Amino acid sequence: MIKKLLFSDNTLWGLVNFRGAIIQHFLDRGYEIVLVAPEKENEQMRIDIPKGVKYIPVDMGRTSKSPINDLRYFFRILKVYRKEKPDYIFHYTIKPNIYGSMAAKLLGIHSSAMMAGMGYVFQNNGIACRIARALYKIGLKFTDHLFVLNESNREAVLQLGLCKSEKMILLDAGEGVDLDVFPFYDNQSSETTFLFIGRLLEDKGYYEFVDAAKKVKARHPETRFEILGAFDPQYPKGIPSQRFQKDIGEGTFEYLGFTNDMASIYQRKGLVITLPSFYGEGLNRVLMEACASGKPIITTNIAGCRETVDKGVNGYIIPTHDSDALAKAMNDYLSLSAEAKQKMSEASRRKAEKTFDIHRVLAVYDRVMQNA
């Protein structure tokens, strides 16, 4: 008998982009797959639905703080789950984790949740965030397992009493990266481009990147700086359009917009992927892909970022909120010989092969299903 799996997330783009390999893995094994997520919430982040997969759009209000909206979302997914009757549900992001886990339990459906990071709700202490954390604690009582992506997040969840330790599964490879989809690319070049890839958020280190770029350009005017990523106007600390346009106008960096074709980015030569994040990361997807593609990395000493860098071997680790340290790391890289830069590139690929291979993650999902 073919089993039906349902995957629930707060955006269709995130579900297909971050969990596409998992979805395809179960499709290949003969499972029926249903995706449940909001559609077209961000015009920049549209994505095709995988062939053979059923998609059910559902309104959510990803960053809405209205209890009425959340209650409506709960009843919407309850209705979907009741109609679809899946054998198992995987939930991702805060609202599916909370309300999806409750709905699944109410219908007697086994489920797992994933905490892909400890973002805004856990980094701020306003009343809405405190309420969200309380709801999280309730929701996670009803899930079979909670996936976390780094040891610091696991410890934080335990300290906050959000979930029992016996329910938790640490994915130390993060959500993994397909090493065939992201092969090693030759990075040798006489020119260097420091590329920021991520949502345009204050928490991702946007301001630090721009400030460091100005400092380095004053010394190395030939060096390029680029930003690739989507705006997120619903996020409380998204970069204001007016400020972004001002920065663009000063000519410090080039904005590449947003793309789902990351291969066309990673195959470019002379790239250093630069993410001065202080966001509550799980295990940053971009940095894992950068490793697989053989790109040196500059990132911060926070959980979810530092795991992708062996300091001085495939990149640099810097403190958060420190554009001077970021500028120094950039200058240090620029001062390296071509041979040393190539060694960093090769070290990134070796790290991906050793640590972030998607097959390690697929094995965990298979074990969950075998024991369901």
From the list 45, 180, 152, 171, the residue with the least C-alpha distance to 112 is 171
Encoding tokens for residue 44?
């920049």
| C-alpha 325, offset from chain centre | 24
Name the DSSP letter for residue 119: -
All domains of the chain in start order, with CATH? 4-176+358-370 (3.40.50.2000), 193-355 (3.40.50.2000)
Tell me which residue has tokens 């909001």.
38
Task: Give me the pLDDT at residue 132, please.
Answer: 76
Task: Please state the φ and ψ torsions of residue 31, each to the nearest 5 degrees.
Answer: -75, 150
Amino acid at position 156, single letter: A
Task: Give me the pLDDT at residue 60, please.
Answer: 85
Task: Give me the pLDDT at residue 63, please.
Answer: 56
**Residues of the chain scoring pLDDT < 50:** none
Task: Give me the pLDDT at residue 82, please.
Answer: 98
With a pLDDT cut of 90, the percent of the chain lying above it is: 77
In the chain, the N- to C-terminal Cα span, in Å, equals: 15
DSSP for 34-46 reads: EEEE--SSSGGG-
Task: Please state the φ and ψ torsions of residue 7, each to the nearest 5 degrees.
Answer: -115, 125
Burial class (CB in 10 A: 0-12, 13-18, 19+), 58: middle
Total length of the chain: 372
Encoding tokens for residue 164?
């029992």
Whether the CB-CB separation of 209 and 229 falls below 8 Å is answered with no
Task: Give me the pLDDT at residue 164, please.
Answer: 92
Please tell me the distance from the alpha carbon of residue 274 to that of residue 291, in angstroms, as a whole number: 12
Please tell me the distance from the alpha carbon of residue 194 to that of residue 47, in angstroms, as a whole number: 27
Please tell me the distance from the alpha carbon of residue 78 to that of residue 300, in angstroms, as a whole number: 40
Whether the CB-CB separation of 320 and 302 falls below 8 Å is answered with yes
